[in-house]
């Protein structure tokens, strides 16, 4: 496809006119233009997506390793000499029925293994940004590929926006929220909550996320304005402060600052308790974030000011850019991830919504099978492309690998430098499943109508199927 038609497509499909009328009218209210919080009934049809972004590019090659002799030997041939290979005996064995061969999870992932074995967790294999399906030969012959491969910021953008042909400013989480806004009625608590700061993933054409601090900040203290009481002076000060946010809006930056602050004030009123959970979460960064997510979910069940039927959450765990010191570094991070997502799953069970919550990972990219540097104390790996992701929840058809079959007939890549799945010679896997397909599967389960799929994922038609099947 020529660049010109792609650009034309983009202009048509990402304009505001691409939103359904119902979405627009409901979304206007949700955009915070009405400050009064409407009473809602308790959620009757609740579904939530929880995104965990592994910042830096998690090395999938040491996360999921073939355990059959041929497969492991291929892996070892590339990584042992430099000290990057994980010993076969320490890997945690799982067997996906579709491949019917053993694979080993990183030793830091026992909870993930347990959830996989209980069919609550699935693995999407060799998924990554694609403009269209691509073979090695096509890649090397210059067929269209994602922009700025191997660049952190651009790959993060592509996983977040599910567009790899051009850079756009909205995320697929935001666009999905835009197009499912009718589930949430006319309340004003945002659909998307981030406990990891600003992210393009959560930006839609209408949708703007709420960003709050993670635990240990109590939920009723994440948005508190200090220094006011009932004295006449404080009341007068608050009254003036509230008015100042409504004036002098001709300057775009002033208006935006006022809008963000107004949202903070309004939502702060809604977050008026700090729910308690019996489940114990690890006191790590990702543990604290998921704890806060669970609290918001609980508050959503009990507070009339929330009562959303659809919620999306964003968390992140950083440090995965292991150009060096990967052995220790990745082990530590995967342990944190492992413990945290197990606790979170247990919390959804506690809340009775484990089949209504689907947690999934994203990451910048996978990493080169070929190591960077040498020596187990310092060895690492460089930026690559296709990677493996986890999907967890009661609704997930777990215990299986998903994706698109590649040249070896399975969804798992051939671990061979300069092999059929390598972009070059360093072991950068060309994905067989695209981010669009991965995200569309999640969004469809979330409630995005199939008629609205092209609105949120304009290039979905280029791929063999819009649904990878892990959320039937």
Binding pattern for the stretch 291-320 against other proteins, x by CB under 8 A and - elsewhere: ---------------------------x--
Query: 92-94 and 103-105 as β-strands: parallel, antiparallel, unpaired?
Result: antiparallel
Residues 433-472 that bind other proteins (CB under 8 A): none
**Can residue 142 be called a binding residue for other proteins (CB under 8 A)?**
no
For the chain, give the number of residues: 472
What's the CA dihedral at 367, 395, 274, 112 to 10 degrees?
Answer: -40
C-beta of 271: minimal distance to other proteins in Å?
10
CB 359 within 8 A of CB 392: yes
Q: Which is nearer to other proteins, 245 or 462 (CB)?
A: 245
What's the CA dihedral at 289, 291, 292, 296 to 10 degrees?
Answer: 140
Residues 338-377 that bind other proteins (CB under 8 A): 371-374
| Distance between CA atoms of residues 333 and 287, nearest Å | 11
Q: What are phi and psi of 334, to 5 degrees?
A: -70, -35
| Distance between CA atoms of residues 94 and 97, nearest Å | 10
Of the candidate residues 28, 87, 143, 257, the single one contacting other proteins (CB under 8 A): 257
Question: What's the helix, strand, coil split of the chain in %, to 5?
Answer: 40, 15, 45
Q: Which is nearer to other proteins, 101 or 150 (CB)?
A: 150
Of the candidate residues 132, 148, 182, 408, the single one contacting other proteins (CB under 8 A): 148
Binding pattern for the stretch 383-402 against other proteins, x by CB under 8 A and - elsewhere: x-------------------
Of the candidate residues 126, 164, 179, 263, the single one contacting other proteins (CB under 8 A): 263
Of the candidate residues 79, 120, 208, 356, the single one contacting other proteins (CB under 8 A): 208
CB 159 within 8 A of CB 54: no
Report the side by side order of strands in the sheet with 92-94: 64-66, 103-105, 92-94
Q: Which long-range contacts (CB under 8 A, 24 or more apart) does 441-444 make?
A: 441/466, 441/467, 441/468, 441/469, 441/470, 441/471, 442/49, 442/358, 442/360, 442/391, 442/471, 443/49, 443/172, 443/176, 444/471
Residues 37-66 that bind other proteins (CB under 8 A): 55-56
C-beta of 253: minimal distance to other proteins in Å?
4
CB under 8 A: which stretch of 252-260, 291-299, 342-350, 450-458 binds other proteins?
A: 252-260
C-beta of 182: minimal distance to other proteins in Å?
21
CB under 8 A: which stretch of 21-29, 107-115, 253-261, 290-298 binds other proteins?
A: 253-261
**# chain residues binding other proteins, by CB under 8 A:** 74
Of the candidate residues 118, 153, 376, 450, the single one contacting other proteins (CB under 8 A): 153
Residues 163-202 that bind other proteins (CB under 8 A): 166, 169, 194, 197-198
CB 56 within 8 A of CB 321: yes
**Can residue 1 be called a binding residue for other proteins (CB under 8 A)?**
no
Structure tokens at 41: 């009934």
Of the candidate residues 237, 269, 449, 450, the single one contacting other proteins (CB under 8 A): 237
**Can residue 143 be called a binding residue for other proteins (CB under 8 A)?**
no
């Amino acid at each position: 496809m020529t660049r010109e038609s792609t650009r034309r497509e983009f202009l048509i499909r990402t304009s505001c006119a691409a939103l359904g009328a119902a979405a627009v009218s409901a979304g206007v209210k949700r955009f915070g233009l009405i400050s009064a919080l409407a009473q809602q009934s308790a959620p009757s049809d609740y579904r939530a997506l929880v995104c965990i972004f592994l910042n830096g590019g998690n090395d999938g090659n040491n996360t999921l390793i073939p355990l059959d002799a041929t497969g492991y030997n291929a892996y070892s041939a590339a990584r042992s000499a430099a000290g990057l290979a994980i010993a076969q005996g320490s890997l945690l064995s799982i067997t996906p029925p579709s491949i019917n061969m053993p694979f080993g999870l990183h030793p830091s992932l026992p909870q993930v293994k347990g959830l996989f074995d209980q069919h609550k967790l699935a693995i999407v294999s060799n998924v990554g940004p694609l403009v269209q399906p691509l073979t090695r030969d096509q890649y090397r012959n210059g067929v269209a590929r994602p922009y700025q491969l191997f660049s952190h910021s651009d790959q993060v953008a592509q996983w977040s926006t599910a567009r790899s042909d051009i850079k756009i400013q909205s995320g697929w989480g935001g666009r999905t929220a835009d197009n499912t806004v009718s589930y949430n009625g006319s309340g004003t608590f945002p659909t998307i909550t981030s406990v990891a700061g600003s992210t393009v993933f959560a930006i839609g054409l209408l949708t703007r996320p709420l960003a709050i601090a993670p635990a240990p900040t109590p939920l009723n203290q994440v948005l508190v304005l200090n220094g006011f009481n009932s004295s006449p002076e404080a009341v007068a000060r608050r009254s003036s402060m509230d008015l100042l946010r409504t004036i002098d809006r001709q300057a775009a930056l002033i208006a935006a600052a006022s809008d963000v602050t107004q949202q903070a004030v309004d939502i702060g009123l809604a977050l008026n308790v700090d729910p308690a959970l019996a489940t114990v979460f690890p006191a790590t960064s990702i543990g604290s974030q998921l704890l806060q997510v669970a609290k918001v979910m609980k508050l959503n069940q009990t507070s009339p000011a929330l009562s959303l039927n659809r919620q999306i959450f964003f968390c992140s765990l950083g440090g995965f850019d292991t150009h060096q010191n990967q052995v220790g570094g990745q082990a530590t991070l995967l342990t944190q991830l492992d413990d945290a997502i197990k606790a979170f799953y247990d919390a959804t069970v506690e809340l009775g919504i484990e089949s209504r919550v689907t947690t999934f990972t994203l990451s910048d990219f996978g990493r080169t099978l070929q190591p960077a540097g040498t020596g187990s104390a310092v060895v690492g790996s460089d930026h690559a492309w296709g990677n493996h992701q986890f999907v967890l929840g009661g609704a997930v058809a777990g215990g299986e690998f998903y994706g698109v079959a590649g040249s070896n007939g399975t969804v798992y890549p051939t671990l061979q430098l300069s092999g059929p799945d390598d972009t070059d010679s360093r072991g950068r896997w060309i994905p067989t499943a695209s981010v669009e397909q991965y995200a569309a599967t999640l969004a469809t389960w979330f409630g995005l109508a199939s008629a609205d799929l092209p609105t949120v994922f304009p290039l979905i038609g280029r791929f063999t199927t819009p649904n990878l099947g892990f959320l039937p």
